[in-house]
Amino acid sequence: MLAGAVYAIFAATDPNYRTQGSIFAILEGFAFVALLGLGLSVTIIAGELDLSVGSTAAVAGIVAVYASGLGLLPSILIATCGAAVFGLLQGTAIARLQISSLVFTLGTLIGLRGLAFVIAHDATVSVSFANLAFSDTLVRRYWIFSPFSLTTLAAFLIVGTFLGYARYGREVYAIGGARNEARAAGVSVARPIVIAFTISATTAGLAGSLAALKSGAATPDAFGSSLLDAATVALVGGISLYGGRGSVYRVILGALTLRFLIAGLDSRGAQYYIESLATGALLLGVIVVEFAVEQEHAWKRARGLLAIGNRG
């Protein structure tokens, strides 16, 4: 809904904005941040928060570039599987230690960033000239889509279906919305946590490796602001910070909204730091509005109960 509004505002005022080419460009930018937002939102739904998604993507990008000699698909697989293993370990540690995911992923956020610098030897890592043909494959255009954005949409379908229909997926919702009740009901708390963090790391790894291979290079300081973008995307997409609520499909809308906003600002010639201002303001705006709406609902419910009490 908000996405539609933002798009309308920009489309109406800028003729360049509406062309098919620009939609393609928007979807391209959208793919990365949407994928990251997808993973992050799974951890938010579970009542946790994975702060390390940006750093995971950076490491995955570097690994993918290093492995690019093996071919497009293998290098993506290697990087993504590596990220998945990391997510598995991280989730297991958080679940076993019963430690706050905030502090744990803060540590891995820092540590992985350091790892990125270490394995990249503090430099930009480029795909060797012979293998640059990868980029072409990844940016090939199918109408308004590309392999990158199509992969993203596929990931959404997979995760969305899993969360919506699989028992292990429903568990993620359960421990997020009402953890004590879930535990009392016999739901395993450890398993959904492990699953959630594995998903968030895997999507981050996938996004990082795709982005790096597409541009042909990876830098260790990449995706520094991606946590912010992913959080904005998730929250604009209606994932509730209180956990246990929200549909990952709406994260697509959240990502589209953000990209429309940024692309619109860009096409007006805004400086890059305006993006920071806009994203931050959007994030703040969304959480304040969500909170106000929550309060309004709570008010209404309380009044409803009071009314019932008075009647009887």
Partner 1 sequence: MTDVPPATDSPRVGGESVVPPRNKLLLLEPRQFVPPAVVTIAVLILLVAGGFTTPGFLTADNALLIIRTTSLTGIAAIGMTFITLSGAFFSLSVEQTAIICAIVYALALSHGFGLLAALLVTAAVAVLVGAIQGGIVAAGINPIVTTLGAGAALYGLASVLSDNQLVKTGTSSASWIGQGKPLGVPTQSWAFILLWIASVVVLKKTGFGRRVMLVGANPDAAQASGISVGFVKFSAFVISAGAAGIVAVFITSQFEQASVLQFGDINIDAIAAVLVGGTALQGGEGSTTRTVLGALFIALLGNYMLLQNYGYGVRLLVTGVMVTGATSLFHVLRTRSQ
Is the CB of 121 or the CB of 141 nearer to partner 1?
A: 121
Residues, the chain, total?
A: 312
Give the residue among 252, 296, 24 at the shortest CA–CA distance from 156.
252
CB-nearer residue toward partner 1: 16 or 295: 295
Please report how close the Cβ of residue 94 comes to partner 1 at its closest, in angstroms. Answer: 10
Judged by phi (left if over 0) then psi (alpha if -120 to 50, else beta), residue 166 lies in beta
Separation between Cα atoms, residue 249 and residue 111, nearest integer Å: 31
In the complex with partner 1, which residue's Cβ is closer, 35 or 116? 116
Min separation Cβ 158 and partner 1, Å: 26
Nearer to partner 1, 157 or 298 (CB): 298
Between 19 and 100, name the residue whose CB sits nearer to partner 1. Answer: 100
| Minimum separation from the CB atom of position 219 to partner 1 (A) | 12
Task: Give me the long-range contacts of 182-191 (CB less than 8 A, separation at least 24).
Answer: 189/95, 190/92, 190/95, 190/96, 191/95
In a 13 Å sphere around the CA of 277, the CA atoms on its Cβ side amount to 7
What Cα–Cα distance (Å) separates residue 175 from each residue in 231, 278, 291? 20, 33, 21
Taking the complex as a whole, how short is the minimal distance between the CB of residue 277 and partner 1, in angstroms?
Answer: 2
Residue 103 dihedral angles phi and psi, to the nearest 5°? -75, -35
Q: How far apart are CA 80 and CA 57, in angstroms?
A: 9
User: Whose Cβ is closer to partner 1: residue 98's or residue 310's?
Assistant: 98
Least spacing, CB of residue 274 vs partner 1, in Å:
6
| Residue 77 to residue 63: CA distance in whole angstroms | 10
What spatial distance separates the first Cα and last Cα of the chain, rounded to whole Å?
41
Three-state secondary structure along 100-128? Answer: CHHHHHHHHHHHHHHHHHHHCCCCCEECC
CB of 279 to partner 1, least distance (A): 5
Instruction: Choose between 20 and 100: whose C-beta lies nearer to partner 1.
Output: 100
Chain residues that interact with partner 1, rule: CB under 8 A: 49, 51, 93, 97-100, 102-104, 106-118, 120, 122, 220, 225, 227-228, 231-232, 235, 241, 271, 273-284, 287-288, 291
The CB-of-240 to partner 1 minimum distance in angstroms stands at 10
Indicate the residue among 169 and 238 with the shorter CB distance to partner 1. Answer: 238
| E strand or H helix that includes residue 217 | strand 217-218
Least spacing, CB of residue 209 vs partner 1, in Å: 20
Close Cβ partners of 95 (under 8 Å, ≥ 6 residues apart): 189, 190, 191, 193, 194
DSSP letter at 218 equals E
